[in-house]
Structure 1
């Protein structure tokens, strides 16, 4: 009887912890840093600690970046009891000690695994070990799990991800669950009850517009795949168009501004993927733009919709709290867009709290950080090739 009562208390405590944490996890899109885009398999305890220090010193932590996520290649095998083993050469102090270091800096610890028998880099996956791995992660102090989809061996994605979701709910620690099956089984239709965010496309590449035979996509190609997904996003459940490439050298400054602006508009998780230790001024300016981040982190939690499509030119709008709206003018073309926009001629029909016909709103440029007009006058701006004009309307 004593064992039964103890077990029951432990179970109820676990459920309570998840319920409390689950209700408060990812109420705005998660922000952080992930090792994969820049470092691939070249991960280590020393590098992660350096990145943690750089997140603090650069101001990224203060700008809202919270999670430090080690992607694939941290694991090398399982012991005789089936417990996952971190690479002892690259992580000599162990994961608990690394988590302590991250937490001491006011940040949170994220880790990677896979729903298949192996990860995408042929390391041990979690299939068959979901509950054991979840308990291990909880004991290490993990706060975020990215869960990939290689070597799936014919599994049903919904069922496979629900198994790990159930394991996390019983592990005794609230952990943000990032579903990463590349959008192949339309996870936006079932992900809300399973995880906190779900990938919507194949992996991002560090280019404005490009496609690869294996499925990699450029920024513009990924944006195009998000257009009809706005209805599935909201507090605690987000469409994830993949991590940020800002600062990795494959795009121009204007293209990186477009990348960051549109991810903010789409209420996407903002997971930086650059070497924070070596950021140049423009990269830091982009990643720590509090005005743009504020749009992404708005508590209303709505994803932007494209309400005007003029081919090479698009206009997106994102309803915000406090009766405001963010508007992004996207220039897809290779030439400047000489914008001459009359606010009174267009209706953002889905933005219920903003009426341009009834009120005059100030127009605040989120990249220039200043007022650039009012809605009772035309907005005239030159938008560079592959660039954006991102503004916020407020009374």
Structure 2
């Protein structure tokens, strides 16, 4: 009798329905067909940090439309840290009732009514970087709440994550988002510590490659236990990562500082290089108070087209001479973007002989060979044609600035 019982028990647990984990298999793969070009939008952190409320977010959404940024392709209105209130007795997260008295669902509805998309922020740890409730242990509940609000984008940070392994933590939130059933873009904000480019492409839609940016062209801000980085420092840290980027999965060198205090030439160079490396274009300035120069930089559609090119290939540095870097980005239809970046504090002359400098990109297998094909040359910031590749290109690049060209067959 005992043998029979043991046999039956053994058979029961060997059946598919009793297999360990069979009924609880998780889907650790992100939603497909999202972020097929680098995401474009706005985030509150760089300018406002924790000083966020629903009045500000509504006004920024209005400004995104009024300034022409929506028409230029900017889509997301993302609230960063400090929107959080408390968890209820069942563990569900709520917004701060003083800052967001109408509730996140009403705010999301307002943003959606503008033809825009809505993003929020959380953290893989027990607390966010700003000390609000993190998602650790509440991932599936939080994902349900975000879906009920109508969230379209989640930035997921990495503070207070004692003992967690990044890949596993981000797979957990991905599984939670899949279970909640609403397609949400996942922005992995792990600062590049655990090489998210190696495991991130199936888990999220973009991943931070570095620590935080700040509004300085070429400097480092040492906070003691951590550093924030200037634009050029972050650009340098992208070396060796381009093979991991493509439609639906992007290297993220952090948000834009355009309009946050650097002069127009440095903002222009910053914006150009983020466009060249197919970076997400998430602005971080006060859209309600933009200068004409800032607006013109952020809405230059010819430059935006370089970033949003459907081929989805990240650009690369081809050469450096006298503090001037030459960068190239293959584009759809055999076109090329070419940038001359002057990192010095003095204007620098450049001369590029297309006829004697054939270029092949091993990653995309695209070729730029002016001896075989004649290209029209257009200066995208000057907004004027600049001849063809039958003649060498010559110009002076101002200090901390760029010349950006588009080559079309």
- Looking at structure 1, the residues matched to 359 and 86 of structure 2 have their Cα atoms a distance apart, in angstroms, of 54
Unaligned runs of 5+ in 2: 1-23
Unaligned runs of 5+ in 1: 1-10
The answer for the alignment partner of 1:279 in structure 2 is 290
**Pairing partner for 1:204 from 204, 213, 228:** 213
- Looking at structure 2, the residues matched to 348 and 279 of structure 1 have their Cα atoms a distance apart, in angstroms, of 39
SS at 1:373's partner residue? strand
After TM superposition, the structure 1 = structure 2 runs for residues 49-60 of structure 1, keeping only pairs within 5 Å, are 49-60=58-69
Contact 2:357 2:369 in 1 (8 A): no
The answer for the alignment partner of 2:106 in structure 1 is 97
The answer for the alignment partner of 2:309 in structure 1 is 298
Contact 1:60 1:288 in 2 (8 A): yes
**Pairing partner for 2:250 from 238, 251, 269:** 238
Q: Taking structure 2 as the reference length, what is the TM-score of the superposition?
A: 0.91
Q: CA deviation at 1:374?
A: 1.0
Q: Taking structure 1 as the reference length, what is the TM-score of the superposition?
A: 0.94
The answer for the alignment partner of 1:248 in structure 2 is 260
**Pairing partner for 2:299 from 273, 288, 313:** 288
For the pair 1:387 / 2:401, whether they are aligned, the reply is: yes
Q: CA deviation at 1:210?
A: 1.0
**Pairing partner for 2:276 from 265, 280, 290:** 265
For the pair 1:43 / 2:52, whether they are aligned, the reply is: yes
Contact 2:349 2:396 in 1 (8 A): yes
- Looking at structure 2, the residues matched to 110 and 205 of structure 1 have their Cα atoms a distance apart, in angstroms, of 22
The answer for the alignment partner of 2:391 in structure 1 is 377
For the pair 1:319 / 2:330, whether they are aligned, the reply is: yes
The answer for the alignment partner of 1:182 in structure 2 is 191
The answer for the alignment partner of 1:366 in structure 2 is 380
Higher Rg of the two aligned structures: 2
Q: CA RMSD in A?
A: 1.8
For 1:232-291, what per-residue CA distance to the aligned partner results, in whole angstroms no more than 9, with x for missing partners?
Answer: 000000000000000011x11111000000000000000000000000000000000101
For the pair 1:227 / 2:239, whether they are aligned, the reply is: yes
344-353 or 101-110, which deviates more:
344-353
**Pairing partner for 1:346 from 357, 363, 379:** 357
**Pairing partner for 1:331 from 342, 345, 349:** 342
Q: CA deviation at 1:77?
A: 1.5
SS at 1:155's partner residue? coil
Contact 2:360 2:368 in 1 (8 A): no
- Looking at structure 2, the residues matched to 132 and 348 of structure 1 have their Cα atoms a distance apart, in angstroms, of 51
SS at 2:227's partner residue? coil
SS at 2:359's partner residue? coil
Instruction: Give the number of aligned pairs.
Output: 381
For 1:88-122, what per-residue CA distance to the aligned partner results, in whole angstroms no more than 9, with x for missing partners?
Answer: 01100100000000000000000000000000010
- Looking at structure 1, the residues matched to 172 and 180 of structure 2 have their Cα atoms a distance apart, in angstroms, of 12
After TM superposition, the structure 1 = structure 2 runs for residues 5-84 of structure 1, keeping only pairs within 5 Å, are 22-84=31-93
SS at 2:368's partner residue? coil
Q: Where does structure 1 differ by over 4 angstroms across 4 or more consecutive aligned residues? A: none
- Looking at structure 2, the residues matched to 313 and 208 of structure 1 have their Cα atoms a distance apart, in angstroms, of 15
Contact 1:317 1:348 in 2 (8 A): no
Q: CA deviation at 1:22?
A: 2.5
